[in-house]
Amino acid sequence: MSARTKKGPSALSVFEVAQAQLDRAAHVLRLDSSVHAILSQPKNELIVNFPVRMDDGSYRLFKGYRIQHNNIMGPFKGGVRFHTEVHLDEVKALASWMTWKSALLEVPFGGAKGGIKFDPREHSRAELERITRRFTHSLGSNIGPDYDIPAPDMGTNAQTMVWMMDTYMNSGSRELKNAVRGVVTGKSLTSGGSRGREKATGQGLVFVLQEWAKDRGFSLDGATVAIQGFGNVGSHAARILGRLGASVVAVQDHTGAVANPEGLHPKRLAEYVNRTGGVAGYDHGVAIDREAFFAAEADIFIPAALEMQITADTAPLMKSKVVVEGANGPMDIDGEEILRSKGVDVLPDVLANAGGVTVSYFEWLQNRRAETWSLDDVDKRLHGMMIAAYRTMRRLAIEHSVDNRTAAYCHALSRIQTVYLERGIFP
Ligand code: NAD
C-alpha cells in the first residue's frame, strides 16, 4: 500500500486523515489557532539509514524512523513498528495519535512513533537482533527514559524491547546502567517489564467494550465477534472476550481469513498462529475471502492490524453494532461516515487501544521506583483509567453533540491547550 489509500482520486493519505480528525475537534473546541498550528505537525522527524550485516556476510541498508510529535505533557512516547509498509506519512500520523491518546488517558507522556521499513519474518533471530541494536544505536540520545520512550507495536515484541534497552544501557555511562531501564516499555518481566503489559491493549479494549455494553444494555455473553489481525492486540482481545462468553466467528490476518459461526476457539487459534505464522489453513473453520470477512455476521468488529481498512469499499459490507479500534487509524473519513449513517457505534483507537500506553506508564513508574506490582493491581488501575476516559468521552460527546472520536480528541486537546496557554510558547 502506498502513502495514499487505494480507493480513488479523493482518497486521503493516513496523515491527511489524522489531520482531518484534528481539524474537526479543533473546530468544535474553538482551539487556539497557535496551539492548532503547533499540533498539526510533529516537533521532530528523524530518519536514519543504517547498515546491518546479514548472516551470509553481506550488508543491507535499512531505513528507520522516529517521529516525535509532542512532549508538552511529558516525555515522547510511542511504539516501534517493523513492517514493509512503514513510511514517513504513516509514522507521522501514528505519532500524533499517541499524543491524543496519552492526553486523553491523562498519563504524563507526549506522543511519538517509530519504525523500520522491512519484513521481520524474512530474518533470522540473529539478524533481527543486529537490526534492532543498530537502529537503537542510530537513534542515540534521541531516545531516553525522560525524553522519548519506545514500546512494541506491529512486528516487534518484548524481546525487541529488551535488545533496545540493553543497547541503550551499554551506550551510556556505567553508573547509570540500571537507572535507564525505563528507556523502553513492553519489556519481558525478567528484564524489567510489568505484569499485564503483554495483554494490556487487548485487556483495555475489553474494559471499554464492557462499559459500552452496559450503556447499550448489550450482553457480551453470547455476542459474536470478527477480528482483523491476530497478533498481540487481536489475540488477547479474542481470548479475554472468549472468557466472557463471546464467540469469535471470523478472523483475518496477512495470510488470509477463516470463519466459523460456532466460534473459532481463540486459544487454539493463537497456538496455531504461533506455530504457523498466520490463520490460513486453520482447520476448525472455513477459509473466506476479504469481502466475506468484512460482511461476516458479527455484533462486534475489532480491527487490530493496519490503518485504513474500513473505507468506502468495506464499510458498506459491515453488519456490526460496534467497531472497537484495536488498531491505530483503521478507518478513513469515508468509512467512518458510512458507519455513522448506518448507526454503528465507534469506540475510537485513542481510547480503545490505550491500555498499552497506560500499562507502559505503570511499567515506567515501577522501573523508576524499583517496584513490582501484582497483576491484580495492574488490572485494577488499568480498569479505573480506561473507564474514566470512556466516561469523559461519552460526557463530551453528549455535551457537544459529536461522535466519540471528536469527543475524545476534545478532552485531549483541551488538556494540551491549557498547558500551552499557561506556559506560553518559548521564547
Ligand atoms: P502484531 O505484529 O502482534 O500483529 C499484527 C497482526 O496484523 C498480525 O496478525 C498480522 O498478520 C496482521 N496483519 C499484518 N498485515 C496485515 C494485512 N495486510 N491484512 C490483515 N492483517 C494484517 O501487532 P499488534 O501489536 O497486535 O498491533 C496491531 C495494531 O494494534 C497496530 O495498529 C498497532 O499500532 C495497534 N496497537 C498495538 C499496541 C500494542 O501494545 N502492541 C498498542 C496500541 C495499538
Do residues 221 and 122 share a domain? Answer: no
* Residue 26 is assigned to a structural domain of this protein: no
- In a mutational test of the pocket of ligand 1, which residue from 254, 255, 291 has the highest number of ligand atoms less than 8 Å from its CB? 254
- Sign of torsion over alpha carbons 230, 232, 237, 242: positive
The domain that holds 208 is classified in CATH as 3.40.50.720
* Residue 324 is assigned to a structural domain of this protein: yes
Do residues 204 and 158 share a domain? Answer: no
* Residue 69 is assigned to a structural domain of this protein: yes
The domain that holds 127 is classified in CATH as 3.40.50.10860
310 strand-pairing partners: 331
Q: How many C-beta atoms surround the C-beta of residue 257 within 10 A?
A: 23
Q: Do the beta carbons of residue 279 and residue 259 sit within 8 Å?
A: no
Specify the residue for cell string 544501557: 169
Do residues 134 and 227 share a domain? Answer: no
| Domain endpoint, select from 352, 380, 400 | 352
Predicted confidence at residue 4, as pLDDT, reads 41
Do residues 47 and 118 share a domain? Answer: yes
Give CA–CA dist 350/22, Å, rounded: 12
Do residues 121 and 241 share a domain? Answer: no
Catalytic residue among 43, 92, 101, 113: 113
Nearest CA to ligand 1 atom 4: 231
Has this prediction a pTM greater than 0.75?
yes
Do residues 170 and 307 share a domain? Answer: no
Region of 44 on the Ramachandran plot (φ > 0 left; ψ -120 to 50 alpha; else beta): beta
Q: Do the beta carbons of residue 185 and residue 364 sit within 8 Å?
A: yes
Do residues 210 and 299 share a domain? Answer: yes
Give CA–CA dist 55/168, Å, rounded: 23
Give CA–CA dist 215/195, Å, rounded: 30
Do residues 211 and 317 share a domain? Answer: yes
Give CA–CA dist 379/204, Å, rounded: 9
Do residues 207 and 347 share a domain? Answer: yes
Q: How confident is the model at residue 425 (pLDDT cuts 50, 70, 90)?
A: confident
pLDDT tens digit string along 122-144? 999 999 999 999 999 999 999 99
* Residue 294 is assigned to a structural domain of this protein: yes
Nearest CA to ligand 1 atom 39: 153
* Residue 68 is assigned to a structural domain of this protein: yes
Do residues 134 and 73 share a domain? Answer: yes
Domain of residue 257: give its range.
Answer: 200-352
Q: How confident is the model at residue 41 (pLDDT cuts 50, 70, 90)?
A: very high
| Domain endpoint, select from 333, 352, 371 | 352
* Residue 420 is assigned to a structural domain of this protein: no
| Domain endpoint, select from 305, 325, 352 | 352
* Residue 169 is assigned to a structural domain of this protein: yes
Q: Do the beta carbons of residue 278 and residue 254 sit within 8 Å?
A: yes
* Residue 193 is assigned to a structural domain of this protein: no
7 as an active site residue: the answer is no
pLDDT tens digit string along 60-119? 999 999 999 999 999 999 999 999 999 999 999 999 999 999 999 999 999 999 999 999
Do residues 104 and 156 share a domain? Answer: yes
Residues with CB under 6 Å of ligand 1 are: 152-155, 201, 228-234, 252-254, 278, 304-306, 326-328, 353, 356
Residue 5, pLDDT > 90, answer: no
The one-letter code for the residue type at 427 is: P
Q: How many C-beta atoms surround the C-beta of residue 146 within 10 A?
A: 12
Do residues 160 and 239 share a domain? Answer: no
**Atom in ligand 1 nearest the alpha carbon of residue 360:** 40
253 strand-pairing partners: 256
Q: How many C-beta atoms surround the C-beta of residue 49 within 10 A?
A: 9
Domain count, the chain: 2
